[in-house]
Amino acid sequence: MNSTQIAAVASGVISLIQTGQEIYRAAADAMDSIEKQAALAGKDKKTWVLDYVKNEILKGQGWDKWATILSEFIDKIKSMYNTVKDLIKK
């Protein structure tokens, strides 16, 4: 494996993390929101956050934005997978 291949994989990982930040940030904002509600604990809070993010995406509010982010995520993950798969064959 040469450094160009390592750099390509590293670049893909770094780019993927940057692309996904908006989704992670939305989840973190939801976590802050639910944290104020003492009625829910641990697992119930996590379920609420996951449902909130899912509903935000599915109800179409800003879907074009989310669709673009998710599309880029899928493309980059697949590209990284193919790169690693090709490296293993060598």
pLDDT string in tens for the chain (90-residue length):
455 677 777 777 777 777 667 777 777 888 888 877 768 787 888 888 888 877 877 676 666 777 777 677 777 777 877 888 777 876
Count of domains for the chain = 1
Residue that is written with structure tokens 């293993």 in the block = 88
41 DSSP assignment? -
Domain that holds residue 49: 3-89
Mutual angle of helices 42-58 and 3-35, in 10-degree steps = 110
